[in-house]
Structure 1
Amino acid sequence: MKAYPLYLGLVILVCLSFSACNTLPVIQDPMGYLKVKLSLTKDRQLQYNLTNRQGDTLIYPSNLGVRVNQMDLGAHIDKIQLKEKHAAADYMDYLFMLQQDDFQFELQIRVYGDAMAYRYRLSQPSDVRISGELSSWTFPQKSRVWYFERNSDWKLKSYAGLWMSTSVDSLSIVSTEGPIQGKPLVVETSRGEYISVSEAALYDYSGMRLKALGNRQVSVNFTEKQFSVNGSIHTPWRVTFYAKNLNGLIQMKNVLYDLNPKPNASLFADTAYIKPGRSVWSWWSKDAGYMSWQNEIKFIDYADQLTFEYVLLDEGWEKWPNKWQMLANYCRLARLKHIGVWVWKHSDEVRDPIAMNAFLDSVQHAVAVGVKVDFMNSEAKELIDFEKGFLEACAKRKLMVDLHGCQVPTGEARRFPNEMTREGVRGMELNTMGEPLPAWHNTALPFTRMIVGHADYTPMSFSKPGRTTWAHQLATAYMYDSPIMVMAENPGFILKNDSLRVVIPFIKEMPVTWDSTWVMPESKIGRLAVMIRKKGKVYYAVVLNGMNRKQKWQFKPLFLADNEVYLANELLDKPGSGRGVILRKESINKDVVIPFDLEPNGGLVVKIEKEINN
């Protein structure tokens, strides 16, 4: 999201009819980086196209409209009026009144310097039935598109596919399950630029899927054939993001966040309970004593030894005798070591509001800090309503939330800052299910799934890394965003393994939120991911090799201050081992060039801080 130096604070009210005109107004951001043009076909179908400042077409003419009560609004427009135009610091907002036969509705378009978003606004006195949208995108020729594969129905429900690419013309036939794809889609153009499509502010509506139509087109698709909404609803935003490079592409989540409403001032008057951190987790390794009292007490000790803030009790804790009393005791023992407790819950058991409130009251009474709610496995409106209600109910009790078995985020964490993370990703749990994640998937994630927001990937598996290396596993935790980072690996394996001793300081001090991040230009989706991240005064260079061969990478820390000496702690793979790491230390300045030979499917984490003179 491009930033502009001036807040214009201007609202212009105009009412212009274009029903008799051949041209409609050009819509653009304050600086003219992106332009949207509305048009009508000869059949009066409403369409738009999107171009950049250089005149390159990013989205070719594509339909607009929504199917309400079996009427295709947008398919035969009789009248368009520009009703409002609002200028803000970093976007322009346009509101059009549209009339089709006797039905009036509104189209709101917001244009940033790197994105355009639109939504439909209805004003009906009673509920209406939504049975589809005409909303579509037509991508440039000779482009490639990144999508997550879905060779089973479950993967579309839970967004749990591997990320891969195909030509944009093949998207309709590439999946064995049919032409429906999840979000986001990331298109790489023949010019080496990027266009991504997703949605923002998904509330009171069904989640957007994307149906590939062939001829470079995709259109909005829903889980249900139809669903009811309030007659005065604002639909979610349909978002098109544009970036000239990967460093720009990772900014998409900022636009999705901005398009969401602000948090309710009363509901979130006190946010002191919302604390990012790291959590240990016994489910992934499932020791012989899994979910026994003694085993879970051991995980409190592990969290303490690693200086983690949390412990997560996953499926099985409710089988404890007198579970609520035992949970209260467990939370009390954890608090003695300044550790908070999260608990897991199957969503089926709290769909009923009475059951939900009773469960959350008990969690609050036990003084747990958060709930991981699981297995929604759908973005049908019924489940979207459940997620919203669950976030609200938890906020009333000052509980944080981890949504698992669900769709990707659409910026909800702005409205509900107690949402700390959500899954919607093929993550590390697959390594313990006999389907280890390939390095190319991990290396694609920062520029595909992660561009729309936090992900409960549960990083770091040293005992079951698949074909990746230990340094690769550590680097995923440093590269992926999740304000609650749940570590997959059994901490005992780390703490008792001499070969991992040099990794422990990196795990103990690992940030989960960052002050700044930028992508290095040598990055390539699925092949090489290189990020520089900063927390406080400390920099980290984080690298993932997605190739099953060695790659050479040169570290040029030009971002460092002039005339300053820094200490670089370099955690890298032991050559040829896969399951070994070495720690190398050296003094550097901004002018050095450090060559690295990245191991096949490997990784690298370099911590850089000012050297302290003895």
Structure 2
Amino acid sequence: CELGLQLRDGNDLLAGLILQDAQRRSVNVRVPVLFGRRSEAADRFEEVRMIARASVGPGVAVVFRCYDDAVAFRYEIGLDGSDGAEGGIAIADETTSFQTTGDPTAYVQYLEDYRTSHEHPVMTASHGRIRSGALLDLPLTLMWSDGTCAAITEAALRRYAGMALMRTDDGALRCRLTPREDGLKVVGPLPLRTPWRVVMLADRPGALLESETIYCLNEPSVIGDTSWIRPGKITFPWWNGDVYDGRRGEPILSVAMAKRYIDFCARTGIPTHSMTSTEETVTPWYVQSKPGVAPGPDTDVTRPREGFDLETIREYAESRRVRLWTWVHQGALRGRVEEAFAAFEQLGWRGMMVDFFDHDDQETVEFAEAILQAAARHHLMIHFHGVWKPTGLSRTYPNLMNHEGALNLEYLKWSDRCPPEHDLMMAFTRLIAGPMDYHLGGFRAVPRAQFSPQNVAPNVLGTRCHMLAMYVCFDNPNPMVADYPTAYEGQAGFEFIQDVPTWWDDTRVLVGEVGRLLVTARRKGSTWYVGGLSAGAPRDLTLPLDFLGPGRHEVRLWLDTAESGNDPNRLIGETRTVRSSDSLQLHLATDGGFVARCK
């Protein structure tokens, strides 16, 4: 790779530097992971810190780390107390670039602009045929013909601009920072640490999904007492059209409808119910006369809208031991973050989705961190939507549950742009970076030929077992149960949604084929859960069970049936007794899947 930071005056900060010292250290510790792929992560690396200085200006260090599954580096400016370190810095560009060998296959998400929700299809191209001059989202996954894989991304994005890549005419993948309104990329005081630039490496695609390196590259939690952070499954009526039984009835924000949903949660063990907006001319739950979700002149997130009796609903939810979650447009928080979160705490919200960032310039990145800080002070958990990929910040702020930053199942309300092969593309690109909110739980699957988008009671593509498997295969400690209650109760497979954990003690990817197949095993306590996602034609799968411990195990299976190709909602349940030396012989239908629980 090439290194470089261009300053406002056009000079490269690294030009003319003289190496002063090279500091080395080895680290091999285990760090706790609160709500992730495993309960502990191995933070094991070799580090060298190259310290350099010019005759004038701040000192610069480039820090390199080598992990078992990644290499990472960052720039540190003005940390040595040298002359010039007391001032500020204005970065006009970062000229870091990456060179590849050979002509690997690239799995690319093209960005339309720096202003983006990061919701795009994944395109497959050889490295040499990536469009020159186009913005490429991260992670960018590369795979060579021998099965070797790499993913380029960033970690610990704080007080800096978000990074994309751009292929240059000579084939390099060059860093592109999102510009501020004044055209500069980063402006601020010294000292400054940039985010880590990370190249994850593996001999198989699935290993990229087992890595904890992005998490480990972040600072430990700044939240002392985390006992109030309690993830779990969450309703999301907006996805189903704000209905209870598939038809429009009482308003979704009415006391009557809220009580029905809260009763459903209490009855089925779903810990949290979300309330976001009115169903007709969608308008937020808070005071706002302007139609639509974008804030207007009188928007006030500290007060519920007229007719929304939040106090009565909260009291009822507390009596049923169900938590309440909500939604807010990020623009409505501007200039009043602390005031807003103090009010949210008093109103009884336990968490919220903050939406429509659509930008990752330095100011927006800093604003998002200010939201996490205020939310932590007032004991609220956070989802970020319309936002960039995760960079591991949930280690520093464990109240950050997930990011969206993915074209996901909400798109089936108005398009056919989220078919099963897209699920399998997201798994090997966006999911590598961390927890992904994907609007899970659709229970009305139809064959592709019969699909048409609809806003109320939307249909999904892929079998019901495919839908169930995403609860295992996709990292997310706070996943949605997004369909309406009567779509679930009494339906085959809902018992698995009720039972499956949302964070884990261990994770192993057993099978991984980009865009085609993913089988993931995750352990909670002594119980293993296995999920398999498939796209395209039916397939038979032999699955060794060598991840199980010694002795006999009872395996409960939810499987596609012979009829699932024509009726994707069909599944069959089986119970088998197995040993770790056994293998499961499984048949996956068209766009199918399976789930298993092994005790």
Assess same fold via TM > 0.5: yes
Aligned residue in 2 for 1:305: 267
1:528-539 paired onto structure 2 within 5 Å:
528-539=517-528
TM-score where L is the length of structure 2? 0.84
Contact map agreement 1:465 1:473 (CA 8 A) in 2:
no
Contact map agreement 1:283 1:290 (CA 8 A) in 2:
no
Classify the secondary structure of the residue corresponding to 2:476: coil
CA distance in 2, matches of 1:106, 1:591: 51
Q: Is 1:140 aligned to residue 108 of structure 2?
A: no
CA distance in 2, matches of 1:567, 1:242: 33
1:366-445 paired onto structure 2 within 5 Å:
366-445=347-426
The one-letter amino acid of 2:48's match is Y
Contact map agreement 1:73 1:100 (CA 8 A) in 2:
no
Inter-CA distance 607–228: structure 2 relative to 1 (3 Å threshold)? same
- How big is the shift at 1:296? 2.5
- How big is the shift at 1:568? 2.9
Aligned residue in 1 for 2:178: 223
Aligned residue in 2 for 1:509: 499
The one-letter amino acid of 2:19's match is I
Contact map agreement 2:325 2:351 (CA 8 A) in 1:
yes
CA distance in 1, matches of 2:274, 2:461: 27
1:335-354 paired onto structure 2 within 5 Å:
335-352=318-335
Which of 205, 210, 230 does residue 251 from structure 1 map onto? 210
CA distance in 2, matches of 1:371, 1:360: 10
The CA deviation string for residues 538-582 of structure 1, in whole angstroms up to 9 with x for no partner, is 2222111122x1111112212233442423333334433222222
Aligned residue in 1 for 2:162: 207
CA distance in 2, matches of 1:277, 1:285: 19
Inter-CA distance 324–183: structure 2 relative to 1 (3 Å threshold)? farther
Aligned residue in 2 for 1:27: none
Aligned residue in 2 for 1:604: 594
CA distance in 1, matches of 2:217, 2:311: 39
Which of 121, 124, 128 does residue 165 from structure 1 map onto? 124
Aligned residue in 2 for 1:484: 478
Aligned residue in 1 for 2:558: 570
The one-letter amino acid of 1:349's match is A
CA distance in 2, matches of 1:602, 1:376: 34
CA distance in 1, matches of 2:569, 2:10: 60
Aligned residue in 2 for 1:275: 230
Bigger drift between 388-397 and 140-149 goes to 140-149
1:30-41 paired onto structure 2 within 5 Å:
none
The one-letter amino acid of 1:572's match is D
Inter-CA distance 233–562: structure 2 relative to 1 (3 Å threshold)? closer
Aligned residue in 2 for 1:561: 549
- How big is the shift at 1:453? 0.7
1:184-195 paired onto structure 2 within 5 Å:
184-195=139-150
Aligned residue in 1 for 2:256: 294
Aligned residue in 2 for 1:19: none
The one-letter amino acid of 1:339's match is V
Inter-CA distance 234–462: structure 2 relative to 1 (3 Å threshold)? same
Contact map agreement 2:554 2:575 (CA 8 A) in 1:
no
Bigger drift between 136-145 and 282-291 goes to 282-291
CA distance in 2, matches of 1:157, 1:321: 30
Aligned residue in 2 for 1:234: 193
Contact map agreement 1:572 1:605 (CA 8 A) in 2:
no
CA distance in 2, matches of 1:561, 1:258: 28
The one-letter amino acid of 1:91's match is F
Classify the secondary structure of the residue corresponding to 1:508: helix
Aligned residue in 2 for 1:122: 77
Contact map agreement 1:82 1:94 (CA 8 A) in 2:
no
CA distance in 1, matches of 2:573, 2:442: 19
- How big is the shift at 1:515? 1.3
Contact map agreement 2:232 2:272 (CA 8 A) in 1:
yes
Q: Is 1:260 aligned to residue 218 of structure 2?
A: yes
Q: Is 1:91 aligned to residue 72 of structure 2?
A: no
CA distance in 2, matches of 1:589, 1:568: 14
The CA deviation string for residues 519-553 of structure 1, in whole angstroms up to 9 with x for no partner, is 124x2010111111211222222111122x11111
CA distance in 1, matches of 2:272, 2:571: 27
Inter-CA distance 87–560: structure 2 relative to 1 (3 Å threshold)? closer
CA distance in 1, matches of 2:304, 2:439: 29
Q: Percent identity?
A: 24
Contact map agreement 1:436 1:466 (CA 8 A) in 2:
no
Contact map agreement 1:279 1:310 (CA 8 A) in 2:
yes
Classify the secondary structure of the residue corresponding to 1:331: helix
Which of 506, 515, 519 does residue 526 from structure 1 map onto? 515
CA distance in 2, matches of 1:398, 1:387: 16
TM-score where L is the length of structure 1? 0.82
Aligned residue in 1 for 2:82: none
Classify the secondary structure of the residue corresponding to 1:242: strand
CA distance in 2, matches of 1:202, 1:591: 44
The CA deviation string for residues 440-477 of structure 1, in whole angstroms up to 9 with x for no partner, is 11112222211111111121212244431111111112
Bigger drift between 291-300 and 272-281 goes to 291-300
The CA deviation string for residues 341-363 of structure 1, in whole angstroms up to 9 with x for no partner, is 111111101111xx222221111
Contact map agreement 2:472 2:520 (CA 8 A) in 1:
no
Contact map agreement 2:253 2:308 (CA 8 A) in 1:
no
Contact map agreement 1:92 1:111 (CA 8 A) in 2:
yes
Inter-CA distance 567–456: structure 2 relative to 1 (3 Å threshold)? closer
Aligned residue in 1 for 2:300: none
Aligned residue in 2 for 1:451: 432
CA distance in 1, matches of 2:53, 2:136: 32
CA distance in 2, matches of 1:561, 1:415: 34
Where do 5+ consecutive residues of structure 2 fail to align?
Answer: 29-43, 79-84, 278-283, 288-302, 445-457
CA distance in 2, matches of 1:200, 1:114: 14
Classify the secondary structure of the residue corresponding to 2:576: strand
Contact map agreement 2:110 2:137 (CA 8 A) in 1:
no
Bigger drift between 89-98 and 187-196 goes to 89-98
CA distance in 2, matches of 1:312, 1:411: 25
Contact map agreement 2:143 2:149 (CA 8 A) in 1:
yes
The one-letter amino acid of 2:526's match is K
CA distance in 2, matches of 1:98, 1:449: 35
Contact map agreement 2:285 2:304 (CA 8 A) in 1:
no
- How big is the shift at 1:69? 2.5
CA distance in 1, matches of 2:558, 2:113: 42
Inter-CA distance 333–220: structure 2 relative to 1 (3 Å threshold)? same
- How big is the shift at 1:207? 0.6
- How big is the shift at 1:215? 3.9
